Amino acid sequence: MAESEPVPATPTPLPEPYVAGRSCDGCTMCCKVMSIEALAKPRQKWCEHCAVGTGCKIYAARPEECRTFVCSWLVDAGVGAHWAPRRSRMVLTYQSEQHQITIHVDGDRPDAWRKPPYRDEIEAWAGKMAANGGQVLVRMARDAVVILPGLEKNLGEVRDGQVLLATKRAGPAGVAWDVVALEPDDPMLKRLGR
């Protein structure tokens, strides 16, 4: 602001990046289900600095990964209120480059994503992601399940950095999808320009 401009009587509020009415208050689910590289914290283990359901005990000194993380429920109005992580026990993230929605499911509630209304919504999202070459990935304690139109495939353990490659084949019975997890330096990805 230039010095000659009048100072407003009350500060102008910063634009609110979160969906109105949503906040992290009372949640902390991401401090369990996500891995934090800087802390060598694996998935599905409560962070040692977490006051569960309250917040971070080292908030001012938390790693960059934690500072920059927001789940999709917080920032995407298209994600319904019932996806609130503290209630659904699932944390949604979206990877735009891969057109991938990842659902990090609390290992203590591994079937949460199969229950209504979640499962139907996940299938609808899978159709939209597939149209752009992506998919929905459901991550549980160990296994990762890919959902594509007409396909639910358990890939077992998918490590960070691995790339999911979905393929489809048209046949007399319609389109059949498949998916594999590849290392980032897999020659197949290079051939495909990915």
Residue numbers at the binding site for ligand SF4 (CB under 6 A): 24, 27-31, 36, 47, 49-50, 56, 58, 62, 66, 70-71, 73-74, 85, 91
Q: Which is nearer to ligand SF4, 1 or 61 (CB)?
A: 61
Shortest Å distance, C-beta 110 to ligand SF4: 18
The residue assigned the tokens 């289900």 is 33
Tokens found for residue 164? 């999911």
Nearer to ligand SF4, 26 or 133 (CB): 26
- Measured from the CB of residue 191, what is the shortest distance to ligand SF4 in angstroms? 37
Q: Which is nearer to ligand SF4, 29 or 148 (CB)?
A: 29
Nearest alpha-carbon partner for 135 in 155, 108, 111: 155
CB of 44 to ligand SF4, least distance (A): 12
Q: How many CA atoms lie within 13 A of 89 on its CB side?
A: 14
What is the maximum span of the chain, computed from C-alpha positions, in angstroms? 73
- 73 or 177, CB closer to ligand SF4? 73
Strand 100-105 to strand 135-139: parallel, antiparallel, or no bridges (unpaired)? Answer: parallel
- For the bound state, the minimum distance from the C-beta of residue 169 to ligand SF4, rounded and expressed in Å, comes to 37
Question: Which residues are CB-neighbours of 193 under 8 A, at least 6 positions away?
Answer: none
